[in-house]
Structures are given as C-alpha cells and as structure tokens.
Amino acid sequence: MRFHVLTLFPEMIEQGIATSILGRAMDRGLLSLEAVNIRDYTASKHKKVDDYTYGGGAGMLMQAQPVYDAWQAVQDRIGDRKARVVYMTPQGAVFNQSIARELAQEEDLIILCGHYEGIDERVLEEIVTDNISIGDYVLTGGELPAMVLIDAVSRMIPGVLNNHDSAETDSFMNGLLEYPQYSRPEEWRGKKVPEILLSGDHAKVDAWRLDQSVQRTRERRPDLYQAFMEAHPDYGKPKKKRRKKTGDQENL
C-alpha cells in the first residue's frame, strides 16, 4: 500500500508514522508514505494557501488551486489508475474497522487533510471520493485523523502485523470487547489471577473468556451488546435438556 498525504504539515505525518510497527513495515517494503506539502503547489507569490470565505463568517478557507495541483502531481506519479481520495473531515462517515478493511485493498490511497475552517467546496467536488471522520469531537486539523486511518488500514495489510496479534483474532472481529488478561505473578497486591485460567481446561477457559467479553460489552458498550444479542438470540439461555427416553419410545 502506498499512502499519499496532502497536508500543510507534512513533518507531523512523517514523524508520527515513521516510528513504531509501521516504520518497520515501511523498511520491509510493505508500506510507503509520501507526505506532500500543499503549500509547495501555491501559485501565489507569498505562498498563500488560504483566503476569506464568500458570504462572510469567521475564519479562513484553504483555496482550491493549491489543493488541486498537489493532488494532480500525486495522481500523475501514480499513473493511469485513479486513486481513491479520502478527505478527513468532521462531515464524513465515522471511521470503523470495516472501512479500514475495505481501504486496505487499495494499491494507492490519497488522503487529504484540511486546516483552518475547511477547503473550498469546488475542489472537493472534483477530487474527493470518500469523506471520513474519526468521531464526534472537534480537532484542529485532519493530520491526526489521517494518522489514525493510516495506522488502522496498515495493520490490515498482510505481513504488517507479526504472526500473533493477527488481524483475524482481534477484538471487534466478533463484535465484542476483549476479555481481561493476566500475566505473572499469580498474585499481585493481594489480587489473584482467576482460578479457571490456571486449570488447564481449555474448553472452560474459552467459555469463561466469552462470558467475560459479553459482560464487559454489556457494561461498557451497550450499543455493541445489543447488536451481539440480536445476532445471537440464544446466548445465555440454558440449553434445552434432551428429553429422557420413556419406556414407550422406540429407538430408531
């Protein structure tokens, strides 16, 4: 996957992604990141990229021209295939795991970060294919959201994660929160590891973990719990006892 980020703060993106697991994935050639400074594409003498909004109102708007030319330069480097352009915006669909999985299928992804009060609508109409928000709270720009998206998409790409925390076995994959986990020592500050985890009975451990996941989800994420119960209406119901054979019944 090749990420191309259009931004006024390219260093912020480069710094954030180069570290951690993603930096290693880049070294191994699984990912690449190009942070393009929109200001490098301004046609104005004073490198201006923003202006007042028609119709009045507070704040400045990013102008269409430098954004369009930065996008065109990236798209020209990519070649004939039109890359998806994700605009990070509070007015977008809320990002989630299924969007991350879908975007991970792309060869190239162009991510546009806004600043100031936003971007001139006309260039958005021309180039944007997807509008994405990372949640209902107000940030100062699209750079942190872009980094969040890059992180979540990258770990869905085969080989980026090491064998064990593979994307398959993740929490959220079954719509439930993760169960609690424990490591050594067996007792810490008087708190013991739940007995069942030391029993060696894998079936019992699995059942305990599922129950913990469900209870935790019910308490912390009632929205996810409701969806889980609608998908598993029999969960938690006692199993129907097999009817005892009576003397009158014949075996078939």
180 is catalytic: no
**Per rule CB under 6 A, is residue 141 in the interface with ligand 9D3?**
yes
2 is catalytic: no
Please identify, among the stretches 120-128, 137-145, 231-239, 240-248, the one whose residues bind ligand 9D3 according to the rule CB under 6 A: 137-145
- Applying CB under 6 A, among 1, 114, 154, 156 the residue interacting with ligand 9D3 is 114
243 is catalytic: no
In contact, 62 and 120? CB cutoff 8 Å: yes
- Applying CB under 6 A, among 22, 134, 156, 214 the residue interacting with ligand 9D3 is 134
Please identify, among the stretches 22-30, 135-143, 204-212, 221-229, the one whose residues bind ligand 9D3 according to the rule CB under 6 A: 135-143
Euclidean distance between CA atoms 200 and 25, whole angstroms: 36
- Applying CB under 6 A, among 10, 16, 66, 118 the residue interacting with ligand 9D3 is 118
Q: Give, to the nearest 10 degrees, the angle between helix 143-154 and helix 20-27.
A: 60
Strands annotated E in the chain = 2-7, 32-37, 50-52, 60-62, 84-94, 108-113, 130-133, 187-188, 191-192
**Dihedral of alpha carbons 209, 210, 216, 220, sign:** positive
Q: Active site residue: 107, 117, 178, 186, which one? A: 117
- Alpha-carbon distance values, 189 to 109, 181, 192, 193, 194 (Å): 49, 16, 8, 11, 14
**Per rule CB under 6 A, is residue 138 in the interface with ligand 9D3?**
yes
Euclidean distance between CA atoms 236 and 231, whole angstroms: 13
**Closer to ligand 9D3 by Cβ: residue 9 or 228:** 9
Least distance from ligand 9D3 to the Cβ atom of residue 65, Å: 20
Tell me whether strands 2-7 and 32-37 are parallel, antiparallel or unpaired.
parallel
- Site residues (vs ligand 9D3, CB under 6 A): 88-90, 114, 117-118, 133-135, 137-142, 145
Positions marked active-site: 90, 117, 155, 170
